[in-house]
């Protein structure tokens, strides 16, 4: 086979490999965006490649494993990766809720005192009317 034909075949094989990688990465991004559970079979079908090919690509295999662990962790409604709450965000929300709870507890105690004073004043006004008549 002439050298130029070999170069053409090698170039075509590289292009085909890059296109296949691009399809697999696109499929992975789609699964990541939707939060849908990930399996090798689903990724292979979405990318139109074989499962064997997915297993043979270390970076794709690592991404599938990572997404499979992340997306399959929850059995409830699938949440896209970008919308998942981080641990630090949850801690901040808990702290804010705790502060709000303390403030509301203080307000309730204050309102109870005001209500008790109002009841006392009402009782005093009723007692004052009955003794005057």
Please give the residue that has the higher pLDDT: either 104 or 39: 104
CA–CA separation, 38 and 64 (whole Å): 7
CA distances from 73 to 42, 61, 68, 76 (A): 17, 18, 8, 9
CA atoms within 13 A on the CB side of 7: 3
- pLDDT for 16: 93
Strand, helix or coil for residue 14: helix
Distance between the two ends of the chain, CA-based, in angstroms?
125
CA–CA separation, 35 and 3 (whole Å): 48
In tens, the pLDDT along 47-92 reads 999 999 999 999 999 989 988 887 766 545 556 666 667 788 888 9
To the question of pTM greater than 0.85 for the whole model, the response is: no
Please give the residue that has the higher pLDDT: either 78 or 95: 95
CA–CA separation, 85 and 6 (whole Å): 52
Percent of the chain with pLDDT over 70: 85
Pair 6, 25: CB distance under 8 Å: no
Angle between helices 58-71 and 3-34 (to 10 degrees): 10
CA–CA separation, 46 and 73 (whole Å): 21
Pair 67, 28: CB distance under 8 Å: yes
């Amino acid at each position: 086979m002439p050298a130029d034909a070999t170069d053409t075949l090698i170039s075509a094989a590289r292009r085909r490999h890059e296109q296949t990688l691009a399809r697999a990465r696109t499929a992975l991004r789609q699964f990541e965006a939707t939060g849908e559970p990930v399996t090798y079979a689903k990724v292979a079908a979405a990318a139109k490649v074989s499962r064997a090919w997915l297993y043979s690509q270390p970076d794709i295999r690592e991404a599938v494993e990572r997404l499979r662990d992340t997306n399959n962790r929850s059995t409830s409604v699938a949440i896209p990766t970008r919308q998942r709450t981080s641990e630090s965000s949850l801690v901040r929300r808990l702290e804010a809720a705790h502060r709000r709870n303390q403030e509301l507890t203080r307000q309730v105690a204050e309102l109870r005192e005001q209500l008790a004073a109002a009841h006392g004043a009402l009782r005093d006004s009723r007692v004052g009317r009955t003794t005057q008549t």
